[in-house]
Amino acid sequence: MIPIIRPWLGPEEARAAHDAILSGWIAQGPKVREFEAAFCTATGCAHAVAVSSATTGLHLALHGLGVGPGDEVICPSLSFIATANSIRYCGATPIFADVDPVTQNLSGASIAAVLTKRTKAVLVVHQAGMPCDLADIAAALPGGVAVVEDAACAIGSTYRGAPIGSHSPLVVFSFHPRKLVTCGEGGMVAVRDGALAERLRRLRQHAMTVNDVQRHQSATFLLEQYDELGWNYRMTDIQAAVGLVQLAKLPAMTERRRALAERYTAALAGVGLVLPTDPPWGTTNYQSYCVRIPHATAASRNDILQAMLDKGVMGKRGIMAAHLEPAFAGHPHVPLPHSEAWAADSLVLPLYHEMTASDQDQVVAALQSATRGRI
Ligand SMILES: Cc1ncc(COP(=O)(O)O)c(C=O)c1O
């Protein structure tokens, strides 16, 4: 069976986890700080705050911006449901904007169509690693509306020649195993403002004013205080130790993904599918290689996925649309035709660092056979 993803993990990561366990620091400690510093170097962000997942990072980022009840935050429905949920966690209202038919990302025009006086922020997603056109989006926003980037999938992608993470005041990444860099579970908030980064570090541990590293390093007794409502969104040192090894591999991971994607694109050129490609303003890390099947419905796309599975290839439906899920039943939204089309007619092909040419050939053959007569 060819899986949809296989994390690129080896003895170095196992050793790092082993050493962290034996160091005595297994919860949040010095390795988390080291991982944050390495992340700043890798992405060009000013500050990095490690958290337990991108979901919790998105919640912290929006809360740190002051998003709360009565506020509207514009986001795509066409995203993993965590994007919209993080807005709900703040007591604010997700306002779904449609996506661009080519990039499956929000655009300045789609955002402008749903802006209101209550819009506090826009949560843009670099879907499947495909960078948004951030300048087009910024140009559509009135002053005072902040941009937060959901870059859960976009580590290693670039926008106008610089890594994603270096452009907006708040950018959130995921280290779930379906992403390029993984440490099991985990996330990172890239923050431009130093004071906000320090506040988010406190908020991730119940707004405690003293952290464990400070306590261990201090010769005097330190009494902590809790200045506001916070959460337990900490990353562990075991995760950070693995993350550090993974981060060092990011350039190789990105290069390999892009080479494999290029090979898919060449092999699938004549099949009649709509294939992903870099947008004019950046490069994608190909976290997912997401293809569209012209004229497909969700049912016919699912039949294709089943036919591929029967040939030993695990594909996956493309990106979900949150507004179609029962969790958002009755949630008002503008028409979202492009989001619904993408959600119905797209599928993701297996793509992972250690994929061989013969694995890829098997995927291409399975897809060709599954789509024959269906396109
Ligand atoms: C766009 C997007 N946002 C947020 C998340 C949530 O990430 P995590 O699983 O780290 O909470 C995901 C995960 O797939 C995602 O794809």
Q: Where are the domains of the chain?
A: 11-250, 251-371
User: Distance between CA atoms of 254 and 119, rounded to whole angstroms?
Assistant: 35
Q: Confirm whether 311 is a catalytic residue.
A: no
- Radius of gyration from C-alpha coordinates of the chain: 21
Atom of ligand 1 nearest to the CA of 174: 10
User: 120 alpha carbon to ligand 1 midpoint, in Å?
Assistant: 22
Does residue 339 surpass a pLDDT of 90?
yes
Strand pairing category for 316-317 and 282-283: unpaired
Closest atom, ligand 1, to C-alpha of 58: 4
What is the per-residue pLDDT across 113-166, written as a single tens digit (0 to 9) for each? 999 999 999 999 999 999 999 999 999 999 999 999 999 999 999 999 999 999
- Cβ of 79 below 6 Å from ligand 1: yes
Q: Is 206 helix (H, G, I), strand (E, B) or coil?
A: coil
Query: Which of 85, 153, 155, 185 most suits a substitution to test ligand 1, by most atoms within 8 Å of the C-beta?
Result: 153
Please give the CATH number for the structural domain made up of 11-250: 3.40.640.10
In whole angstroms, what is the distance from residue 315 CA to residue 347 CA? 7
Give CA–CA dist 254/336, Å, rounded: 32
Instruction: Tell me which of 374 and 48 has the higher pLDDT.
Output: 48
Spell out the alpha helix ranges (H) of the chain.
11-23, 30-43, 54-65, 82-89, 108-112, 134-139, 194-203, 212-217, 237-248, 250-267, 298-310, 337-345, 357-371
Closest CA to 87 of 125, 50, 117: 125
| 251-371 CATH fold | Aspartate Aminotransferase, domain 1 (3.90.1150)
Q: Which of 81, 99, 176, 181 to mutate to test the pocket of ligand 1 (most atoms within 8 A of CB)?
A: 176
> Does the structure show a pLDDT above 90 at 106?
yes
Instruction: Give the distance (Å) from ligand 1 centre to CA of residue 151.
Output: 8
Mean pLDDT of 262-276: 96
* 11-250 and 251-371 have identical folds: no
The single residue of 120, 179, 249, 311 carrying the catalytic annotation is 179
Question: If you measure from the C-alpha of residue 58 to the centroid of ligand 1, how many angstroms do you get, rounded to a whole number?
Answer: 9
Burial degree of 357 (CB within 10 A; 0-12, 13-18, 19+): exposed
Percentage of the residues of the chain whose pLDDT score is greater than 70: 100
Arithmetic mean of pLDDT, 272-276? 97
pLDDT at 148 (0 to 100): 98
Q: Look at residue 158 and give its three-state secondary structure.
A: strand
- The alpha carbon of 180 and the centre of ligand 1 are apart by a number of angstroms equal to 12
Q: Is the CB of 52 under 6 A from ligand 1?
A: no
Instruction: With beta carbons less than 8 A apart as the criterion, state whether 250 and 42 touch.
Output: yes
Mean pLDDT, the chain, as a whole number? Answer: 97
